[in-house]
Every structure is written in C-alpha cells, then in structure tokens.
C-alpha cells in the first residue's frame, strides 16, 4: 500500500459518516500494472445486523456483568465510521455484586483523584485504593453508593436509559476503548459520562455512555439567540478545561461531538437545566505521552476541517492549544453555519488538507451587525483560531474571563480586534474599522484644511495689490 496519511473528513452539519454496510469489496489500482487488487472483504456493518449479533434474550451478550445488565432497544442513535450507537437501558436488578463493584470502583477512583492531585498522574494509585475499599463492601452498600452518585450527578434518569456504543469491527483490539479507560467514572457537568466499557462475546468492543438529547447542528444553531450561543461557548470551554486539568486531550472537538441534555434535580422535579457536553472520547490522548495510534500508514487522527494546522500535519504535535483551536472552529460553525475552513464543502480532498495546514484565506466575519457581544465573540474566536499556537490563549481561564465579560455586555480584556483581523474578513461594525474610518476622515479634514490654507494664501497674494490701489 502506498505510504500516505489517511484523514477523517466530514462536512459541517452532518453528525455521522456514511456506514460501510453496502460495500462488498474495496479495491485500488496496483501502482505497478494498473490491475485492480482486493484490499479487504468488508463485512456487513449495518446497525441491525450488528444489533442481532450482540443480543442474547434482549440483553447485551457481553463478557462482563455490567454489559450483561444492558437491555437493548430497537432505536438506533447513529452510525459512524467506526461505531454504531443504540439506545439501551441499565437494568439495576440484573446487576450482581460484581456488576455494582465494576460501576463503583471508577467513581471512587475519581473521587480520590479530585481530593488529591486532580489529574491523571496518580490515577493507578487511586484506582488500587478504590479496588481495595470496594472489595470490602457488601452488594447493598455498593448499590446504594453507586445509585446515589449516578442519580444525584444527573448522568442517568429515572428510566435509566443510556447510550450503547458498539464497534463496527470485531478486532478485539479497538484502541478507542483502551484510550478511554482513564475517564470511566470522570464526572463533570460539561462532559458526557462514561459508565463502563467492555467486550461482547462476538468480539466487538463497547462503551456505555450517558444518553444525551442530540448534537449541535450548525444549520439549526445559527438561528438560536446570541445569548444561547455565547453560553454554549462558555460550557464547551469548561468541558475541555476539565479534560486538560485532568491531563488528557480530546483531539476531535466539533459540532457533532458537542451535545445538549436536560438535567433534572431529583429533589425538585420542577428544576430543569440545559447543559452542553463534550462527547466521543475515542481519539483522546494523555498530555505529554505519545499514545497516538496510527491510522493505516499515517499519524493524523481527527476531523480535518476542525483541526488546528499542527494537528493536521501530525497528531503527535497536539497540545491543549490544539483543542482550543478545534473548539474555536466548532464554535464559529455553531454561531454562523459557515465552513470552518472558509470553503464551499465540495473541494478536492487534498485541497481541503492543504487548506487545513496552511490556512491561506480569512473566514467570513461573525460580526454582521453593530453588537458589542458579537464583536467580543469575534475577538475571542479570532484568538482561539490563531495559526501560531503561541498566539492563542495561554489558558482556559483567560477564555472564560473574556466570555463572561461578553455576557455582561463588555469587550474582552485578554484579546483584541488585531486577532480578529488576522482570521476574519473586515467588518464595517468593528472598532478597528471605525478607527480606520476616523483616521481617514481626520486625514481628509487635515488635508482639506491645508488645501484651504494654500488657496487663501494664493488669493491673498492676488488681492493685496488691488486693495492697495483702491486705497
């Protein structure tokens, strides 16, 4: 196979890639003789076929006790390039002592992490401590503690519905699931909760995830009130800030991985809050550790149109500022429904890659009316989308400070319109444009005054002799 990088390309506004269910064979031209040769025999990856293969008496045919307590539903939530998601139900009375322990140990682990360093550095030590403590607990105590946490945190409702993500291939070596083991039990109001992962008896990997209402489609969000879109921005930043504080990178922030959900207070059924949550942690990577898994012969993973320039060249170069760039690109699409590369969406694949790497042209400005909040968001997104990582925000705290100022009707203090001018087309409503116009008007007035002075001097020279004669 020729040595090339393989990218995952998606158009904004589409939640999932096309399933590979209708492909019988994939071929390519042999570079030596031009003869088509077979690369792979694709299996039937249709969601219904997979569902039939993983079911046993209506439950997930899993190798672990938590998976075996998952009751399958017929509702398909979506099919992607690597997995398919179904609605399912966690049936409490199907969980034995081992099942409750498997659910509780990650919860307790992250509680210990939060009480100490707050990051991944000592995760194994806290995990071992949690395992030891959970072993000494009875089934009743494990169930009480686990249910109390799940229900009070709002990650599961009274109906106990969850999302079940199942891999398309039965490789038993899905790197996506192994990478996610660090964040099982990690709870934050702006991150989708991962209950557990495991393996089905037919060899597929699976993950049990918090059920969310739906991802943010830019075609819809562009018409949402500005205040709502600013709040979305704030919660997205809080989500990847938690990831970075914990010590991991997301590496695939895009509208399709930003979900909304309604959280109900179990003590007050009339209280409902909408939360924005980052989801799909299959490409996550621990900060400072090279855990990039090659995609065929390349080392680039993610969704190209939302990638930072450095990630589009090599995913090993990702830093927290790469996530910041992707979040900026996603939020720009959510606010405007414009392409995050400034393209039409039907360009040649390699042109898309070159554009992601080089960023040769500016994006359409989101500042389309005289509005101080829009102007503030233009400045914020402009700094998040800087080509050079060193020119982006130094911390999530700075971004949040600026967003909170914008929410109050004030301009940000950690960025300015110079950043916006580098990224976006000029807006007639920006302060920079107004300053330029004032400078032009001032220069024009000074020039006019100077010209008027010259004319007065010239006329004076002509009139003075005539006046002298009259006198």
Q: Do 101 and 165 share a domain, yes or no?
A: yes
Whether 57 and 155 map to the same domain: the answer is yes
Per the structure, the count of domains in the chain is 2
Which residue in 305, 326, 302, 303 sits closest to 389, CA to CA? 326
Q: Are residues 153 and 294 in the same domain?
A: no
Task: Tell whether 161 and 301 lie within a shared domain.
Answer: no
Same domain, 113 and 193: yes
Domain limit, last residue, from 186, 211, 236: 211
pLDDT of res. 287: 85
In a domain, 467, yes or no: no
Q: CA 332 to CA 280: how far, in whole Å?
A: 20
- What CATH number has the domain bearing residue 310? 1.10.510.10
What range does the domain containing 165 cover? Answer: 43-211
| End-of-domain residue from the set 154, 188, 211 | 211
Spatial separation of the C-alpha atoms in residues 385 and 422, rounded to whole Å: 9
Residues 179 and 252 in one domain: no
pLDDT at 348 (0 to 100): 77
CATH number at residue 110: 3.30.200.20
Question: What is the per-residue pLDDT across 2-22, written as a single tens digit (0 to 9) for each?
Answer: 443 433 434 333 232 333 333
Are 404 and 259 part of one and the same domain? yes
Q: Which two tokens stand for residue 393?
A: 């925000």
Phi, psi of 92 (to 5 degrees): -60, -40
pTM of the predicted model, to two decimals? Answer: 0.80
Both 204 and 219 in a single domain? Answer: no
The pLDDT score that the predictor gives to residue 435 is 53
In the chain (471 residues long), the average pLDDT of successive 10-residue segments reads 40 32 33 37 75 95 97 90 92 97 97 92 94 97 97 91 90 66 93 95 93 90 92 97 95 94 65 83 78 42 87 88 97 93 78 86 91 97 97 98 98 96 91 54 55 56 52 49
| Residue 280: inside a domain | yes
Domain-ending residue, one of 211, 239, 269? 211
Asked if residue 117 and residue 237 are part of one domain, the reply reads no
Q: Is residue 97 in some structural domain?
A: yes
Per-residue pLDDT, 451: 55
């Amino acid at each position: 196979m020729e040595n090339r990088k393989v990218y995952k390309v998606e158009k904004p506004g589409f939640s999932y890639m096309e399933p590979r269910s209708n492909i019988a064979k994939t071929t390519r031209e042999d570079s030596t003789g031009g003869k088509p040769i077979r690369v792979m025999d694709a299996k039937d990856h249709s969601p219904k076929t997979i569902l039939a293969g993983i079911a046993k008496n209506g439950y997930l045919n899993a190798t672990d006790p938590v998976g075996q307590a998952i009751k399958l539903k017929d509702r398909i939530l979506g099919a992607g390039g690597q997995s398919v998601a179904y609605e399912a139900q966690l049936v409490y009375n199907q969980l034995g002592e081992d099942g409750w322990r498997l659910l509780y140990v990650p919860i307790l682990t992250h509680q210990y992490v939060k009480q100490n360093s707050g990051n991944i550095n000592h995760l194994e030590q806290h995990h071992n401590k949690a395992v030891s403590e959970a072993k000494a607990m009875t089934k009743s105590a494990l169930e009480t503690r686990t249910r109390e946490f799940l229900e009070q945190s709002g990650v599961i409702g009274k109906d106990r519905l969850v999302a079940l993500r199942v891999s398309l291939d039965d490789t038993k070596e899905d790197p996506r699931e192994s990478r996610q083991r660090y964040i099982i039990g990690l709870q934050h109001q702006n991150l989708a909760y991962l209950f557990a992962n495991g393996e089905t008896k037919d060899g597929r990997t699976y993950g049990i995830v918090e059920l969310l209402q739906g991802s943010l489609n830019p075609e819809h969000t562009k018409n949402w009130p500005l205040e709502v879109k600013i709040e979305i921005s704030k919660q997205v930043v809080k989500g990847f800030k938690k990831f970075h504080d914990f010590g991991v990178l997301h590496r695939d922030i895009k509208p399709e991985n930003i979900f909304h959900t309604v959280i109900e207070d179990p003590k007050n059924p009339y209280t409902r809050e909408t939360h924005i949550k980052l989801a799909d942690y299959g490409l996550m990577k621990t900060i400072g550790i090279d855990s990039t898994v090659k995609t065929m012969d390349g080392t680039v993973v993610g969704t190209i149109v939302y990638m930072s320039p450095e990630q589009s060249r090599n995913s090993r170069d990702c830093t927290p500022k790469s996530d910041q760039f992707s979040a900026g690109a996603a939020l720009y699409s959510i606010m405007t429904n414009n392409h995050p590369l400034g393209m039409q969406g039907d360009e040649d694949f390699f042109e898309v890659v070159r554009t992601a790497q080089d960023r040769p042209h500016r994006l359409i400005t989101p500042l389309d009316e005289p509005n101080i909040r829009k102007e503030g968001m233009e400045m914020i997104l402009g700094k998040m989308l800087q080509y050079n990582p060193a020119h982006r925000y130094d911390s999530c705290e700075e971004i949040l400070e600026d967003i909170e100022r914008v929410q109050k009707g004030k301009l940000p203090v950690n960025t300015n319109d110079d950043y916006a001018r580098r990224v976006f087309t000029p807006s007639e409503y920006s302060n920079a444009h107004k300053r330029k116009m004032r400078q032009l008007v001032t220069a024009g007035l000074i020039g006019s005054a100077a010209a008027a002075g010259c004319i007065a001097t010239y006329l004076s020279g002509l009139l003075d002799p005539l006046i002298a004669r009259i006198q």
